[in-house]
Structure 1
Amino acid sequence: MRIDASATDNFQEPVAELGKSALSSAFNRSMLLDSLGLACYIAWSFVFWNGSLLFGDLRPSMPVDNAQIIQGVLTALTALLLVFSACKSVPFRRRKVILATFAIVSSAAVVVAALAGFGKAPAEFMLLGFALSGIGSALRLGCEERLSVQGVRRTAICAGAAYLFGFVLFIGVSLLPAAIALAVAVALPFVTYALLLAAVRSEQVCEVRSSRGLKASLAGVPWKLVVAIALAYFSYGATRATGVAGGLVAAETIHSAMAGIPALASVVAIALAYYFYRKNALLAFYLAFPLMALAALLPAGIDPFAGNTTFCVALVGAELVKYLVWFLLIDSIIKDGISALLCLALMRFAQWGGSCLGQVAADALPSTETVTIAILLSLVVALLVIMGSPMSDKLSVASVSLDALDLDERVGLAAGRYKLSPREQEVLAIWATGHTGAYIEKTLFISKNTVKTHLNHIYAKTGTANREQLLELLDAIDG
């Protein structure tokens, strides 16, 4: 399955006539603002999770495991609330207030967790700090929503750069004296907010906002992807249950640098997700799920970082699934007119809901072996969801007179002759083999309406009315 992002990358049109150099300058400045804004929030998350600023000498009484679960629940619930409000047409000034509120809550989370970490407040305050961080982290959706309406390529570049910038910024914060580092950490969400507003002002992007109601919008969401990401993060959550806290203890004074491993894992996952998005999306799942299974099967005793190595292996797999799903959702956002915030909030709900359930299951199950079995089962089910049941999808393949060996060549010639778009060529290549529209929908991760639209365009451009006429046309094409 080859998925070409060129159609989404050309979505944005310049508002006014600009010279080439001026347009390039504006585009680069906007990309820098987008990357730095997301980087500041990523740095905030690294400070919250890994900084000695917050945890100090991690006290045995610190309820980190429970805090992680509370954070996951609040993150998922906040995302679910955003799902219900995503289809409403909200003036930008009101949305600025909502984003500013999330920035305030994120900053408060840093202060509360720092007080608990250094023993200036009861250990239970750590639970409150993690809960506030779960709510406030919805600010990140503001940056991701803006990227989503600008195409997959730009999203991949800015997200990858943001992780690199964010890690460098985090290291800088960690080297500061505690009081100054706390002040900088408190300011990071507000810097994200300011850079997001600056990016909006510097480049007016045509935001895709659905005119449909919530029920109609949800019907257009590719739910297989949402379910797959929930199951993948169930596995990740069960794996990280012994990885994050143990890794912090094992790393001791060097655990600030340990944030570089998740940062690198995320950058690698973004690069892989973009590559597979362009080439063959299904192969990404074939790589991600075995990686997560491997993390579950590796004995904890061979990990010198008390579970952190297996945690990072699982993270690469989970992040690969997350970013591939994000890139595929952008197709629905731009082409099907589904609200970007709706898709991103659903993805976030599935991600954190699955992760939270995985961690709860890891704590509740009686042995490591049963946790491993639960992880492997979740990955098998996720793969079946993506692939579909082999018995439930009997394909009625039409008889074709084309030689399978030169079909791709004939489709390519037809695409050039009749000026088909890359996605239309992709649909034609599958349709010409006799597969059903449902198969195209499943294979390319696009909606039924999008399949119909592409086929109508193909018929109009080629002057045909049905599949048989298309086959005759392809059969008559020669080099």
Structure 2
Amino acid sequence: MLHHRDAFLVKDVLGLALYIAWSFVFWNGSLLFESVRGEAIIGQSQIVQAAFTAVAALAIALSATSLSLRRRAVCFGVLSLVSSVAMVIGALSGYGDAPSDWMVAAFALSGIGSAFRLGWEERLSVRGVGYTAVGAALSYLVGFGLFVSVSALPSFAALVVSACMPLVAWGLMFVPRAVESAGDPEERPRCDEGEAAPTALLRRIPWKLMIALALTFFGYGATRVGGVAGGFEATGIFHSVSPGTPALASCSAIILAWLFYRWKPIFALYLAFPLIAVASVVPVSFDPLAGATLFCTALVGAELVKYLVWFFMIDSIMKRDMPALFCLAVMRFSQWAGSCLGQIGADVLEDTAMVTIAVLISLMVALLILIGFPFSESGEPGALSRDSDASDPGRPEEAPLSFERRVRLLSERHRLSPREYEVLSIWVTGHTAGYIEEKLVISKSTVKTHLNHIYSKTGTTNRDELLRALEDFG
């Protein structure tokens, strides 16, 4: 029988893998749907997708603190439906006399629908860096496996299955939780309104990291459109190499980012930025795989920076009691806004030399920003919040976390249901099961069931161990 943590990992990996498989099918649909791209200009479609991805992430960031569990389910349900519609429109645009604008519309919808990914990334993030690294890496491997399986199906069956993937992922995210919390109309506790106000949260975001991330993906986006993708398209091998390349590159970047995060984060930058720079400088004609090697090189560099920033954002989420969805949405906005501007810049400049110069300048500025960032040399989690606070002598020392906030953090980390959170809040204050029974107007057996669930999810066996777990947040 799976431990709760293992069961959560399986569920989280499968949910994110379904989204990744959907994105692989969408990007490589011509393998399945007979020239799914139609006559649309790929550069234009990429820019549109990046722009709508950034806008969707910004919308999620602005509304994240006001989304109750029910509203969140509706929001992500709509995003999953938009993703499915994007797949269908993209497939239909490759047939008959369908206008090429359909593909541009499909890319726009896919950009909006891709915000659904934030829901699964949030589930990973609240469980810590190690859990996130393992879950994200496995998701890419499983997602690629699902893509290969779908590729073996007939075209119509492949379309139906791939269009259903986002809906199945949404069901995994919310339906089981609704069943588990049946009869509990209360919503998951959130931060106090004053603390959760977007303006207050924005002041606590490490903006140096966000700017550096945007500049990094500016360079990656310009490199991708300015030369690498062009080399793929010119040789006709874009679709045959691109499904496996992102999976392999992303897994490699995740592993490297985690190792550098635990060891010396600054060294990751000395590896990542040269990789992107090399991909922008070396002509595609020098690549024996007509751009495949350069694309993989640039992708590893960009993803390495992204995951390193993500891991340090998790530190902010854990140590500063920041809403995970808000932080991840801001990060995604920075990434895709930078990528969109980079692609637009490459499209406007056209000249390869000018694009390369723009890429190198953006990478140099990003590197200078990150070199000055107070990364920890100890490799310990929590380095971001401790060091960044210490770097500002005028910043008042933060008070220790209140007991109530520790209970809330423990509940969020272990995905307790709203009712389990209520039981936990009363139980750790020393009250008896009988008091909880009277306070919440539930039966004694229900109290016992909730306590058993709490112990199982948190990996504890009694109240003393729960209290020790709460002390870890101090």
TM-score range, shorter chain: 0.7 to 0.9
Matching residue of 1:174: 151
Q: 1:210 to 1:166 in 2, by over 3 A?
A: farther
Q: 1:157 to 1:165 in 2, by over 3 A?
A: same
Distance 2:382 2:220 in 1: 36
Q: 1:201 to 1:317 in 2, by over 3 A?
A: farther
Could you tell me which of 382, 391, 398 is aligned with 1:438?
A: 391
- Letter matched to residue 86 of structure 1: A
Q: 1:176 to 1:344 in 2, by over 3 A?
A: same
Q: Is the 8 A contact 1:208 1:338 kept in 2?
A: no
Q: 1:288 to 1:26 in 2, by over 3 A?
A: same
Distance 2:392 2:271 in 1: 22
Q: Deviations over 1:242-268 (max 9, x none)?
A: 33364256355x834541111000000
Q: 1:265 to 1:203 in 2, by over 3 A?
A: farther
Identical-pair percentage: 48
- Letter matched to residue 244 of structure 1: A
Q: Within 5 Å, which residues of 2 pair with 1:143-154?
A: 143-154=120-131
Distance 2:126 2:158 in 1: 34
Matching residue of 2:85: 108
Deviation at 1:203, TM superposition (A): 8.9
Q: Within 5 Å, which residues of 2 pair with 1:80-479?
A: 80-88=58-66, 90-119=67-96, 121-197=98-174, 200=177, 209=191, 211=193, 212=195, 213-241=197-225, 242-244=227-229, 246-248=231-233, 250-252=235-237, 255-256=239-240, 258-388=242-372, 437-438=390-391
Q: Is the 8 A contact 2:254 2:307 kept in 1?
A: yes
Question: Do structure 1's residue 42 and structure 2's residue 20 form an aligned pair?
Answer: yes
Q: Is the 8 A contact 2:315 2:384 kept in 1?
A: no
Q: 1:159 to 1:424 in 2, by over 3 A?
A: closer
Deviation at 1:207, TM superposition (A): 7.6
Deviation at 1:427, TM superposition (A): 9.9
Distance 1:382 1:259 in 2: 29
Question: Do structure 1's residue 52 and structure 2's residue 30 form an aligned pair?
Answer: yes
Q: 1:245 to 1:37 in 2, by over 3 A?
A: farther
Could you tell me which of 17, 21, 31 is aligned with 2:9?
A: 31
Q: Is the 8 A contact 1:288 1:320 kept in 2?
A: yes
What is the SS of the residue equivalent to 1:98?
A: helix
Could you tell me which of 68, 74, 87 is aligned with 2:52?
A: 74
Q: 1:114 to 1:248 in 2, by over 3 A?
A: farther
Higher mean C-alpha deviation, range 300-309 or range 91-100: 300-309
Runs of at least 4 residues off by over 4 Å = 198-211, 422-428, 451-454
Deviation at 1:118, TM superposition (A): 3.1
Distance 2:384 2:310 in 1: 20
Q: Is the 8 A contact 1:149 1:208 kept in 2?
A: no
Q: Give structure 1 stretches of 5+ with no counterpart.
A: 1-21, 394-407, 413-421, 442-447, 455-479
What is the SS of the residue equivalent to 2:65?
A: coil
Q: Deviations over 1:27-57 (max 9, x none)?
A: 1111100000000000000001123256634
Q: Deviations over 1:172-230 (max 9, x none)?
A: 11111000000011101011111222574699998874641111111111111101110
Q: 1:154 to 1:425 in 2, by over 3 A?
A: closer
Matching residue of 1:416: none
Q: Give structure 2 stretches of 5+ with no counterpart.
A: 182-186, 401-474
Q: 1:191 to 1:424 in 2, by over 3 A?
A: closer
TM-score by length of 2: 0.75
Q: Is the 8 A contact 2:38 2:100 kept in 1?
A: no
Q: Is the 8 A contact 1:427 1:440 kept in 2?
A: no
Distance 1:218 1:388 in 2: 21
Q: Deviations over 1:134-193 (max 9, x none)?
A: 000111001011111111111111100000000010011111100000001110101111
TM-score by length of 1: 0.75
Matching residue of 1:444: none
- Letter matched to residue 161 of structure 2: V
Aligned length: 390
- Letter matched to residue 352 of structure 1: W
Higher mean C-alpha deviation, range 238-247 or range 55-64: 55-64
RMSD: 3.1
Q: Deviations over 1:74-121 (max 9, x none)?
A: 110111111211222x22111101111001100000011111123452
Q: 1:280 to 1:195 in 2, by over 3 A?
A: same
What is the SS of the residue equivalent to 1:337?
A: coil
Distance 1:382 1:278 in 2: 22
Matching residue of 1:4: none
Q: Is the 8 A contact 1:64 1:245 kept in 2?
A: no
Q: Deviations over 1:255-288 (max 9, x none)?
A: 3454111100000000011111111111111111
Deviation at 1:123, TM superposition (A): 1.2
Distance 1:249 1:350 in 2: 30
Distance 1:48 1:245 in 2: 19
Distance 2:159 2:36 in 1: 17
Q: 1:243 to 1:202 in 2, by over 3 A?
A: farther
Q: 1:366 to 1:101 in 2, by over 3 A?
A: closer
Q: Is the 8 A contact 1:40 1:192 kept in 2?
A: yes
Q: Is the 8 A contact 2:215 2:362 kept in 1?
A: yes
